[in-house]
Structure 1
Amino acid sequence: MKDIEHVTDIHAHFIYGVDDGARTLEESLELIKMATEQGVKKIIATPHTMPELTSTEIAKKLNIIKAKVREANIDCELYTGQEIFYSEKAIEYLKSGRYLTLADSKYILVEFDPGISYGYIKMATRDIIFAGFLPVFAHVERYQCLQKNHRLDTIRDMGAMFQMNYTSIDGGIFNKNTVMCKNMIKNGYISFMATDMHRVGEREPKVTKALLWISKNASKYFEELTYENADNIITRRMD
């Protein structure tokens, strides 16, 4: 496999007790450990936007996890973020600080209903950018309306970027969704690969198989998919 400096993950639900991700502090640490054993060295925490969840609670629990990571000598840097389910209130909440951007950048990880209309996605993209934020579509492979008629090109030209889950390319040659995802990577549509990790035993961080495929079949995009673009968000070079 192509040599890598490290992997940076921009989509992960490892903060315990805030959404459908990790349930306990111990599970948070186990997920992080599992990821680092596969080469992940930086992770942006992206809990779902939940009605009672505040940015203060996210930061507080992340600091607890960071302390435990240091105690356990786990080699991993952690950053705040959120997976934002887009709604009419999303921009207002971003501006007020109730919702978090990725690593305090202008980029946001934004999620839509898989069956959302193309018109709605165009409107949301335009409104997000007009408000001064830059959208990264979480698991873009799930949005059926973007899978035809060069619609990915249109949304990308508007200023959006696309994230794909590593496990989406783990299927075989007869898996239509896997074939579609691999083609999206080879055609240069994807800017970030991410784990979208949730729980031990259920949506664990799994990157090794996908990294091998990307290394062999889309090597010219390997660095930017696995760490360069993500690191540039963290260091603000993409702002």
Structure 2
Amino acid sequence: MIFGRKAKQAEYIVDVHCHILPGIDDGSRSMEETLKMLRIAADEGITHVIATPHYKLEHNNATPGQVDELIDAVQAEASKNNIPIVIYQGNEVLFFNEFDEYLENKSFCRMNYGDYVLTEFLPTDRFSYIRNAVDDVLSTGCVPIVAHVERYECMASNIENVRTIRNMGADIQINASSVTGGGGKNVKKFVHSLLKEQLVDYIGTDAHRCEGSRVPNICECSNILYKKYDEKYVDSILYGNAMDRIIQ
């Protein structure tokens, strides 16, 4: 697959944020839909997917063991259907005050059993809350990957807040659709401001469906990134960082 004016080909693409497991949250509704999503992802150039079902306090969350079993089932079906994607374990954890206790009890999934946790907030959460949450996660020895940072009003209205939490030690993830304008002009402008300063660590699709606006599309995003930004940096946010920090 060719990206950008320089005929750049990404060696891999790692989708670090995807709701691709069937019947476990508000993402894929069936194994059939999951396989359709995986085919789309493969056609888009995605080679690795970290499955990140929602984990919310007092919700009917799957256990890490159940997530593992479902990944094994999906991986087996993908192999039968010649879909060349490798799937890894994760969760998208909506931060809550007892985070450290639940982490210690292994109630939710770290990213591929490592030291990174995809951490979500509500769009209207205050910066002080997010900053304190980042500090709390770091105090456990884990690194929070702040999910789709462009969705939080306190971040989108003040890029200095993103600089602050990244300097604290958090990693930053944005959605591929935000790069291409799927979130609107203001969101697009904001994420490109982040990219210009190289404040982004990962790209994810945050895909939930095999049709509509929440599909695992990333090719157009990759094309834009390679045209506008330093090639080595784009390599790092498409796959390098995920390979080094999460997968390997």
TM-score, length basis structure 1: 0.94
Q: How does 1:213-224 map to 2 (within 5 A)?
A: 213-220=224-231, 221-224=233-236
Tell me the residue number matched to 1:52: 60
Q: Does the 8 A contact of 2:116 with 2:246 survive in 1?
A: no
Aligned residue for 2:118, secondary structure, equals strand
Moved more, 87-96 or 117-126: 87-96
Q: Does the 8 A contact of 1:66 with 1:78 survive in 2?
A: yes
Match of 1:17 among 20, 23, 39: 23
1:212 aligns with 2:223: yes
Q: CA deviation at 1:225?
A: 0.9
Match of 1:126 among 135, 144, 164: 135
Tell me the residue number matched to 1:225: 237
1:114 aligns with 2:123: yes
Q: CA deviation at 1:149?
A: 6.0
Structure 2 residue runs of 5 or longer lacking an equivalent are none
Change (3 A) 1:90 1:67: same
TM-score, length basis structure 2: 0.91
Q: CA deviation at 1:67?
A: 0.7
Match of 1:41 among 36, 47, 58: 47
Post-superposition CA distance 1:124-145 (Å, at most 9, x none):
0111011111000000111111
Tell me the residue number matched to 1:176: 186
Q: CA deviation at 1:219?
A: 2.8
Q: CA deviation at 1:52?
A: 2.1
Post-superposition CA distance 1:138-194 (Å, at most 9, x none):
00111111231611111111100100000002129x812211111211211100011
Tell me the residue number matched to 1:186: 196
Q: CA deviation at 1:231?
A: 0.8
Tell me the residue number matched to 2:38: 32
Aligned residue for 2:47, secondary structure, equals strand
How many pairs does the alignment contain? Answer: 235
Tell me the residue number matched to 2:112: 103
Structure 1 residue runs of 5 or longer lacking an equivalent are none
